[in-house]
Amino acid sequence: MPCSGPPKPRKDATLLPTIWWQTDYGCLPKPRSCAIGLTHRSTQGDALMRILVTGGTGFTGKALVRRLHEDGHEVIALDYKEGVKTEEIRHWGTRVIIGSVTDRAVVEEAMQGVDVVHHLAAAFRELDVPSTYYHTVNIGGARIVLDAAVAAGARRFIYCSTCGVHGNVQNPPANEDAPIAAADYYQQTKYEAEPLVHEYQQQGLKTVIVRPAAIYGPGDPERFGMIFRRVAKGSFPIFGSGKAFYHPLYIDNFVDALEKVTHDGVGDGRTYLIADQEYVTIEDLVRRVAIAMDRKVHTPHLPFWPLWLAGHAFEKACKPLRITPPIFPRRVDWYRQNRAFDISRAKNEIGYDPRIGLDEGLRATACWYKSEGYL
């Protein structure tokens, strides 16, 4: 499949044998139209639908919008600001509406005639905002979108929560019934919106909640960017033992799951953890990134707690200045908190099958980072 131009909508998409970085086109110099893998499958036979994606120009949103177009659906993307990605998804035929999910009038406009809603928009790692901002966007915004969906006669509502609601998993792997231990405003407010979704399910709106693990892949320079850049330099200090578990989620795998629950009768009223097939230790993840990049990397072990104190100090100092701290508590906790999940429910109930493995996903991501100049 060519690696340029907008996706061609089609009703009977099939699983292709390769992904973009493996094609004859190789690692294109600037594959901006290939920010996500192009392979996918559509296994449902539903009629084409009008679908609203909130947060539609973000990393996950853009990947989902593209997939839905490839499946032939009419897509509306709601996001809070214009940008390069906005113009790209418009080029695919997406109707883009600029505005916040907290603006009821904007949401109602976007919702007209919609069959299915994918609610991805959220406040995440915001600078210089009060804690109430997370509540306003992540809980209040969810209620506004749910209200508008019901009023417009939408059939389905898919809510994107986070695996982070389970916090530091004490007995890995955790399933959907594991204790809730949200550790920050983002995780807490994402979880607090889940009962709202259940409430609307009881009122007749068909809903599904997904809790994705750490989403990464071509198109996102941030999630794994730090890991790849350090490995590229040949040294990756590991603070602590390096034995904490981490569970990645390749972007195409997550979009596969979202595509499945888009269709009537799939996962109604249920909550699903979505992740790749395997979880790994931090130390093993670094080693496999090095293999994907064909680099040797030194991994010296250093004490954890000095870094933890520095993370809190930097966050406190940088917040009033509205700048991103070089390190912050969430990133520091990456070295010590277990994130490992049991995806059996999603596999058994919705047919989720993570087809892109970790090594394949890391190679694709490394290729994209290089072609885009991040490495």
Q: What pLDDT score does 327 carry?
A: 79
Domain contains 316: no
Domain contains 174: yes
Domain contains 53: yes
Tokens of 208: 């599904």
Q: What pLDDT score does 222 carry?
A: 84
Beta-carbon contacts of residue 58 (< 8 Å; ≥ 6 apart): 79, 85, 120, 121
CB of 250 closer than 8 Å to CB of 356: yes
Over residues 238-272, the pLDDT tens digits come to 999 999 999 999 999 999 999 999 999 999 999 99
Q: How confident is the model at residue 84 (pLDDT cuts 50, 70, 90)?
A: confident
Single pTM value for the model: 0.86
- Between these two residues, 39 and 270, which has the higher pLDDT value? 270
Over residues 15-30, the pLDDT tens digits come to 332 333 332 223 433 3
- Between these two residues, 101 and 333, which has the higher pLDDT value? 101
Q: What is the mean pLDDT of residues 335-339?
A: 94
Which CATH number do you get for residue 127?
3.40.50.720
CB of 18 closer than 8 Å to CB of 39: yes
Q: What pLDDT score does 304 carry?
A: 87
Over residues 110-133, the pLDDT tens digits come to 999 999 999 999 998 776 778 899
Over residues 40-53, the pLDDT tens digits come to 444 455 579 999 99
Q: What pLDDT score does 46 carry?
A: 58
- The structural domain count of the chain equals 1
Domain contains 327: no
Domain contains 151: yes
Q: What pLDDT score does 85 carry?
A: 82
Domain contains 93: yes
* Domain extent at residue 271: 41-219+247-277+339-356
